[in-house]
Structure 1
Amino acid sequence: MKIAALASLFLAATAHAQVQGTPFGFAAGTTGGGAAKPAAPSSLQELVSWLTDDVPRTILIDREWNFVGTEGTTTGKCCSTKTTTCEGGTSKGQAWIQDKCDDGTWITCKWDNAARKAIDIGSNKSIVGVGDKGVLKGKGLRLTNGNKNVIIQNIHFTQLNPEYVWGGDALTLTDTDQVWVDHNKFSLIGRQHIVSGWKPAGHVTISNNEFDGRTQWSAGCNGKHYWTMLLIGEKDYYTFAGNWVHDVSGRAPHMGTTKTNSENFFHGVNNYFQNIGGHSFDVDANTWMLLEGNVWEGVDTPITDTTLKSGAVIYNVPNTKAGRDCAGSIGQDCEINQLTKSGAFAPRTDADVLKKAALYKASIAPHTPVADIPKNVMANAGVGKI
């Protein structure tokens, strides 16, 4: 092939590897690296340098970057409980990396250090996988210290000490704002796929991601990951749209807390929750949640009983009338939700949700028909699909 033709192919591939689409919902206006020229790092050291500096960048993840073993290992004590031994379970359990073991026994364990310390991301970054090649193995990312305006797209996060609870979090958001998490995949994570800390996560859109809980180390002893998402920031506003959450067993997601004077508004629209051998939503007070056009299929507990008594404010569009009643507040009808081969989801149409949603009318994303969701989400969620 001639040099000119090779150059043309390279330029085409590079152009395609830039951010695809436009942030919507609460993350609308997020620009990430903006017009920064896309570039792929040549080493782990350069990757970390680019991720952490204060230069606007579009960073291409064009291969598997493997952090496993790069920071050594630790042999220490882990707490073993009934969720570790898993008598009668269908998978191995997870031991706990922690300082106390009041309800179990100490065992010797060995973990990889890299997964336990995330990379702190600088402001104004677009971190974009190329095709289906972009993998961060054994390392998570964290947005904190006021850094903001970040796009994370088309990357597979995997292998963060999946044997251990507290083995590592894939993505942490605390003391940040304007974050778009789009078309990524999360698998084999020790603790949370996504977690917000006590400080604000700000305005966040989590869209078209695959949360894959299949594992041989499970706190539920059922081959399904428990610690999916923990969203408890002080001021958090989420658009959660088009995601495929499957084969998990809990915190899918957990939201809200009474430990701080928090405000957590969550718009969950057109997501597909599938094969959840435990609970999906677990919601505490200080949370306003609008759920529309979602599908739960094969989900034991779509929402926990404690949620319905916690003080959380919920509008789950149980019928077409409830859908029409949205229009006066947000300028559009809401789409009903659908449950198939799943537990019950008690109808909730708390008016305060629509009052709160009216304040954020411009950030309420549109929906598509619920009947199309399983097919659409399976076709679009995850890496290599942009």
Structure 2
Amino acid sequence: MTQDSGWPPLREELRGIAPYGAPQLDVPVQLNTNESPYGPSAETVADVAAAVAEVAGGLNRYPDRDFTELSRALAAYLTPDAGGNVIGPEMVWAANGSNEVMLHLLQAFGGPGRTALSFAPTYSMYPEYARDTHTGWAVGHRNEDFGLDLERARRLVTEQRPALVLLPSPNNPTGTALPHEAIGVLCEAAGDGLVVIDEAYAEFRRAGVPSALELLGEHRNLVVTRTMSKAFAMAGTRLGYLAARPEIVEGLRVVRLPYHLSSVTQAVALAGLRHAPELLGYVDRLRSERDELVAWLRAQGHEVADSDANFVLFGRFADRHAVWQALLDRGVLIRETGPDGWLRVSVGTPEEMAAFREALTAAVGAPRTRAQEQGR
């Protein structure tokens, strides 16, 4: 008896599609998912364990559906970045990673007959959020330096009238940040549509680069998302969050699953916020390591995108997969993502960066500079 090729009855647009995910390989140097290379201290681990133990006795009861204490703590954490604005707990939404936060936004404000828009190259999950919520997908394109042509972007938003504009800042996979001017122009162009600034890597931005949180008071349609996965070194916690007008947050309550944030997740996230100075203490070290890496790659003759994140996009390679594989063969895992010819490497410890530099040099040598190629 032969199995019907149409079974199981998967949605037609999902047939043959591989699930999203970076490779998870057991190699000595893992620099492909932009995690922090620094784990929490013994003191933080003990506080997390105590917090989990405290809620464990009540696991027979559902968690606080509105994560009241966590909302207050997240609002207090965000307010110093808001340029004098006060972010209240009623402006905060949290979920299981910023991925679920984004999905909630598309569920509530996207859907059939509506469109989400972004500018490539950008985070590869965005079109998947649109697909999964039956939201139309429109894409513009960035400049050669991965910045936005602001007038061209404004025209596209005006023409498309998207329900949501999704823009990471710093952008993934390029690392480039958006100026305030661009955010303001796109908020105006979007009309009633939401402009979602995805600040998953915001804590790593260079000095003088402001957060979009500063503009929340000026644009009712602005949403700023964050995560505890990167700078807080809590990728395993799966806690993402956003700040927006209370009316937007109320819309998200409609689409969330019941009791979507477990008691354990809330307790662990609160413990992380209590230890924010320690956990964020590695950010300056990673920034410095990133800037040294950018300088070294450029000195070797590689093209490198300016980065305000904890990763660096570099190239260009005629066969980037061969370079990726050559690094993997030497025990260094980076990410094959972004535009053709480019690779992305997360910033790790000094020892990991030394291993990366050694492996890259062995894999490709020192690329010829443009001047050398022109015979000068």
- Which TM-score band applies after superposition, normalised by the shorter structure? under 0.3
The structure whose residues are more often strand, as a share, is 1
Output the TM-score relative to the length of structure 2: 0.25
The structure whose residues are more often helix, as a share, is 2
